[in-house]
Amino acid sequence: MKSFLSIQDVSNLPALLKDALEIKKNPHLYAKLGQQKSMCLIFLNPSLRTRLSAQKAAFNLGLSTAVLDVGSQGWQLEFGDGIIMDSDKAEHIKEAAAVIGSYFDVVAIRAFAKLEDRNEDYSEQVMESFKKYCPVPIINMESGTGHPLQAFADLITIEENKMVAKPKVVLTWAPHPKPLPQAVANSFCRWIQAANFDLTITHPKGYELVDEAVGKATVVYNQQNALDGADFVYAKNWSSYTNYGKVLSKDPDWMVTQEKMNLTNQGKFMHCLPVRRNVIVEDAVLDSDQSLVIPQATNRVISMQTVLKNILEEMKK
């Protein structure tokens, strides 16, 4: 693996999953692989899990890390081409990415969708600019359109908890007070289908995801019907893709409740976190044995470590 921007960088998903489960059993198996190497974690947005799991994953591989919070510590970055830079943005990505790439062996970036201009977010301008101007491998820590490290951790978690070979997985939209990106939902849909699981997506009308993410999944507008017989229920809010970035509904009837979980096949509850209690999902579900939210977050270390292991091995070739 040269870089990790999306599932398209994964040539063999079963092999990557096998690697992950092996690393889970023995996290220190590749403790020397990253020695004498370093990674820079660049955040344009906040993070708890991604930031800490990436540092822990690097530690397990002997890889040193540095963290740059662009918002509070770095110069504001300009990404546009041919811009007269007389606004608040002091540095262009051309110089910033080249400089960072000269200091580190791997660069990981978080840059959320701004939810203003769909073409801009879906062109993946930030990731593509780093790829173009930074001479070392790039890792996506949530970009305009995807969050593949999260989806990989989710897949590992399903693999560890599934009772049948092809579980019924339901992605349900849930209400949230603020407009959120589609990134987590997009990647979840892609990875679940790449793993050949049975995916149903449910959301109010107007929340249709981009076609490439929906793929061959079943879309059901009635949440209760969708949940029938589910083995895994993955809740997530996202803002509208068609009416880009807009909050079209805050309908509390879409919250995941214990009553709704009773419609499932003793299904497990999943969410990427951070989660708003009693808005996205009620306490009773999160605090029950059905909830997998902590194992998911735990597996973020494994997902990053597996990706780093593959990138470091490729660098040694």
Residue closer to ligand CP by CB (options 55, 150) is 150
Applying CB under 6 A, among 272, 285, 286, 293 the residue interacting with ligand AN0 is 272
* Closest-CA residue to 18 (of 140, 152, 150): 152
Rounded Cα distance, 91 and 75, in Å? 6
Instruction: Output the CA–CA distances (angstroms, integers) from residue 80 to 85, 94, 109, 111, 199, in the order listed.
Output: 10, 10, 18, 15, 38
Site string for ligand CP, 235-274 (x = CB under 6 A): -------------------------------------xxx
Rounded Cα distance, 89 and 270, in Å? 39
Q: Choose the contact partner of 183 out of ligand AN0, ligand CP, none; CB within 5 to 8 A by kind.
A: ligand AN0
Rounded Cα distance, 38 and 63, in Å? 5
Q: Choose the contact partner of 48 out of ligand AN0, ligand CP, none; CB within 5 to 8 A by kind.
A: ligand CP
Which amino acid is present at 167? Answer: P
Q: Does 141 contact ligand AN0 by CB under 6 A?
A: no
Residue closer to ligand CP by CB (options 226, 302) is 302
Measured from the CB of residue 288, what is the shortest distance to ligand CP in angstroms?
20
Applying CB under 6 A, among 144, 146, 148, 181 the residue interacting with ligand AN0 is 181
The torsion angles phi and psi of 41, rounded to 5 degrees, stand at: -105, 120
Residue closer to ligand CP by CB (options 226, 292) is 292
Dihedral angle of Cα 98, 100, 104, 109, to the nearest 10 degrees: -110
Name, in order, each residue with C-beta under 8 angstroms of 80's C-beta and a sequence gap of 6 or more. none
Applying CB under 6 A, among 6, 60, 143, 150 the residue interacting with ligand CP is 150
Q: Does 183 contact ligand AN0 by CB under 6 A?
A: yes
Q: Which tokens go with 114?
A: 């701004």
Q: Choose the contact partner of 71 out of ligand CP, ligand AN0, none; CB within 5 to 8 A by kind.
A: none
Q: Does 48 contact ligand CP by CB under 6 A?
A: yes
Applying CB under 6 A, among 39, 180, 189, 214 the residue interacting with ligand AN0 is 180
Rounded Cα distance, 289 and 156, in Å? 18
Residue closer to ligand AN0 by CB (options 112, 152) is 112
How many other CB atoms are found less than 10 A from the CB of residue 236?
22
Q: Does 127 contact ligand AN0 by CB under 6 A?
A: no
Strand runs labelled E in the chain: 38-43, 64-69, 77-78, 91-92, 106-110, 138-140, 168-173, 198-202, 218-220, 232-236, 268-270
Measured from the CB of residue 221, what is the shortest distance to ligand CP in angstroms?
27
Rounded Cα distance, 88 and 91, in Å? 9
Site string for ligand CP, 272-311 (x = CB under 6 A): xxx-------------------------------------
Q: Does 50 contact ligand CP by CB under 6 A?
A: yes
Which amino acid is present at 34? Answer: G
Q: Does 199 contact ligand CP by CB under 6 A?
A: no
Residues within the interface to ligand CP (CB under 6 A): 47-50, 150, 272-274
Residues within the interface to ligand AN0 (CB under 6 A): 112, 142, 180-181, 183-184, 272, 274
